[in-house]
Structure 1
Amino acid sequence: MATDAELRRRLADDLTAGGHLRTEPWRRAVESVPRQEFLRGGFFEVVPDSAPTAWRPVLPDTDGWLERCHADESLVTQIAGAIVPGDIRGEIMRAPTSSSTMPNLVVRMHEELQVEDGQRVLEVGTGTGYSTALLCHRLGDDLVTSVEVDPEVSLRARNALGSCGHRPNLVVGDGLLGHKDGAPYDRVTVTCGVLAVPQEWIEQTRPGGIILATLCGWQYSSELARLTVHEDGTAAGRFLGGQISFMLARPQLPPPIGMLPDLDDGEERPAVCGPEVLDDWTTRFVAQLAAPHAQRITLARAGRTETVLIDVQAGAWACLVEDRGRWTVRQGGPARIWDTVEERITRWRSDDAPPLSRFEITVTPDRQTVTWPSP
């Protein structure tokens, strides 16, 4: 059986071969930080063939636990905002709320952060603390501040970091507000999805500093963006590609849909695009730019399947129905969601459908703008 040190070297080799781990300082960090210390409470795994998805605990006394800790996979560590693996026996069917991120994504983000010796880093989303430990190994504890919204998650991370000899500045609070007491920072790295880059992050970053964050929407297509902060208090950059996905920041989770409106009462027309366009990651991201607060649900009514986009806050909705190979859309409320989505997708396609890695993002105190190049 391989030792944990051998497993760490094997993980580093795999991450290097995959092109995620590119520089020696980060390789030394991966080889030195024991990921299992951040998973001592166990993790959850998916129950095969479960629908809806069920989870079961994997505890440290389970065969193969140490090897799983060093595998390149995300490991769910909390369910429903409070339940940890040691709390249950059997299975649970609730949504994950915290995890140990896949190591290839952790190290890719650290590499993309372009950090240099002596720079101060703010991490938004401590999670298990494994990513934090890599930062501490690379920079030193005094240069790392990490914010976590969940007090229990933060406490477990503090204990795990301490067991590895690291004592960074750990803060319990809303990471969307940053942590102004430790500002200014040279780098900000974010391990949750956000609808928009908060102005607080820009204000707390030195001009020339970098913010690395994953932009998402309520249809859950997301991309990693790297922005440079400018002297005038704005930030701009590009998406890095790769279909990066994180859990949304808890304060930005979508509201409950509640009671649906009367989907038979609305303006009806032939649809230019059917809902299948939303099955493609990039096209769905473009649709999200048009309707960032729209949620997508599928209904079975009157013997047929209907796709509904609904913006609970705005009170707007669109319902797509297929009839003999053609799609019809009905829309209601103060805005026409599908009109806006179709217009944005059509314009993107007319510009030769550039990939997300060519999209640019600009954030000012007034707005966030995402554009793509015209041919």
Structure 2
Amino acid sequence: MTAVPDIDTTAAVLRSKLADHLARHGWLRSPPWRAAVEAVPRHEFVRRFYRETDAPGLTTWTPVTADLVGVEEWLNLAYTDDTLITQFDGREIDWTQPKTISGAHPTSSSTLPSLVVRMLEDLQVHDDMTVLEVGTGTGYSTALMCHRLGAQRVTSVETDPDVAARARDALDRCGYSPRLIVGDGLAGDPDGSPYDRVIATCGVRNIPHAWVEQTRPGCFILATLRGWMRSLGLVRLTVDHDDQAHGRIIAEEPSFMIARQQDAPQNLGMLPGPDQGSTRATSHGPDLLSLPDSGFLAQLAMPHARFFTMPADDGTPHTYVLDATNDAFAVLTPDGQEWTVRQGGPVALWDELEKSLVLWHAAGSPPPTEFGITITPARQAIWLRSPDGPSWPLENESCGEQ
């Protein structure tokens, strides 16, 4: 008979190894946050989760608990630098009969620790600061902040009551009692404001002005801007005395699940008929939609669009770029070594993208970290290198939290 490992002892060793890994790669940089990583038992926040498999076809996840895979395997997976999924499609999982899941949409998770720790380091907190976290999720990052600052200085908001309840239970088991709110995190927490730091663990299409109003002047907001096609990057904003904020994209890799009330509509948009729109040649093919830097420009230029490729009856691949908010479209078709684009609707989507590419190339094709953000009560914009340079609006739309 195989001996069952002592959970507390094994977990402590695994936490130390995880901290070593995070420090070795430069994500974990300060003693207080290392102490938090070594102290907070991540396994308590992921007692049950799903991990992605390498099965071909649709993305597939398989369930993991100590009973299903054994205590040792469960602990090892809990302390890997991976994102562990805890909910799909906004619905709770039936753990009485857990099954493999394919083609679903993850809606809650414990984010990979390297990203969590990197954001906490970038938050630049000091001992006496208060923090508002938007998106409690499993509660693991909440616990790290409680260990670092003291639970009385941490407030966390979660929109999903079931997710919030699981996080509260896990935090209680670990001895942390932060202020937890079930509600719209993008509305912030006016009762507890002003905060010294606001951190969002969900992606947002714009920065809710409530966060600016509830952040102490001179202090920071840290969040991931993203769209319906891709992430734009991690932004750190400094709030001033006029209910405005400004800052820059400090990293281009982070990508969180988008805030639920800002998620894309299920309907991709209307598929245009073969005779709709006007056609012209273009030197740009659909690859630029998914390449890292040009994809960033595509998201800025076409903020409401999404794209997919589908073969025509003769097998020729057509890439459709559709805007479900106004029925604008662009259809890319290969033409020898070049491409043609057919576009229609109230906005010429491909024209807008090519205009943005011209501005970007004229500036030397800089990476996303050369872009900054200005937030005012009336307008939000991303600009290239300087607020006076080329800029793209971020719409001030009503929004809610993941």
2:244, 2:218 → 1: CA distance? 11
1:354, 1:3 → 2: CA distance? 46
SS state at 1:86 partner: coil
Matched, 1:69 2:90: no
Structure 1 residue 88 displacement after superposition: 4.3
**Paired letter, 1:148:** E
Identify the residue that residue 231 of structure 1 maps to in structure 2: 241
Deviation sequence 1:44-102 (CA, Å, 0-9, x none): 12232232112221112213110110111111111111133725433222111111000
Identify the residue that residue 358 of structure 2 maps to in structure 1: 346
SS state at 1:314 partner: coil
Quick check: 2:232–2:252 contact (8 Å CA) kept in 1? no
**Paired letter, 2:283:** V
Structure 1 residue 326 displacement after superposition: 1.2
Determine which of 13, 16, 20 is the counterpart of 1:6.
Answer: 13
**Paired letter, 2:80:** A
Counterparts in 2 of 1:145-224, with a 5 A limit?
Answer: 145-224=155-234
With the length of structure 1 as denominator, give the TM-score of the two structures.
0.97
Counterparts in 2 of 1:44-55, with a 5 A limit?
Answer: 44-55=50-61
1:12, 1:317 → 2: CA distance? 48
Point out where structure 1 has 5 or more consecutive residues left out of the alignment. Answer: none
Quick check: 2:269–2:322 contact (8 Å CA) kept in 1? no
1:85, 1:108 → 2: CA distance? 33
1:87, 1:230 → 2: CA distance? 51
Counterparts in 2 of 1:166-315, with a 5 A limit?
Answer: 166-255=176-265, 256-257=267-268, 259-302=270-313, 303-315=315-327
Residues 261 and 171 (structure 1 numbering): CA distance in 2 closer, same or farther, change over 3 Å?
A: same
1:148, 1:87 → 2: CA distance? 25
Q: Which moved more, 1:87-96 or 1:215-224?
A: 87-96
1:87, 1:361 → 2: CA distance? 47
**Paired letter, 2:246:** A
Structure with more contact order per residue of length (Cα contacts < 8 Å, sep ≥ 6): 2
Identify the residue that residue 137 of structure 1 maps to in structure 2: 147
Deviation sequence 1:12-57 (CA, Å, 0-9, x none): 11100010000011000000000000011x1112232232112221
Moved over 4 A (4+): none
Quick check: 1:317–1:331 contact (8 Å CA) kept in 2? yes
RMSD: 1.5
Q: Which moved more, 1:114-123 or 1:298-307?
A: 298-307
2:329, 2:185 → 1: CA distance? 31
Counterparts in 2 of 1:309-324, with a 5 A limit?
Answer: 309-324=321-336
**Paired letter, 1:80:** D
Deviation sequence 1:220-258 (CA, Å, 0-9, x none): 133000000011111000111241111000001111225
Residues 87 and 292 (structure 1 numbering): CA distance in 2 closer, same or farther, change over 3 Å?
A: farther
Matched, 1:333 2:345: yes
Residues 100 and 263 (structure 1 numbering): CA distance in 2 closer, same or farther, change over 3 Å?
A: farther
**Paired letter, 2:238:** T
Determine which of 65, 89, 92 is the counterpart of 1:59.
Answer: 65
Determine which of 16, 20, 32 is the counterpart of 2:23.
Answer: 16
Q: How many residues align?
A: 374
SS state at 1:115 partner: coil
Structure 1 residue 279 displacement after superposition: 2.1
Determine which of 89, 92, 111 is the counterpart of 1:101.
Answer: 111
Quick check: 1:282–1:355 contact (8 Å CA) kept in 2? yes
Point out where structure 2 has 5 or more consecutive residues left out of the alignment. Answer: 390-402
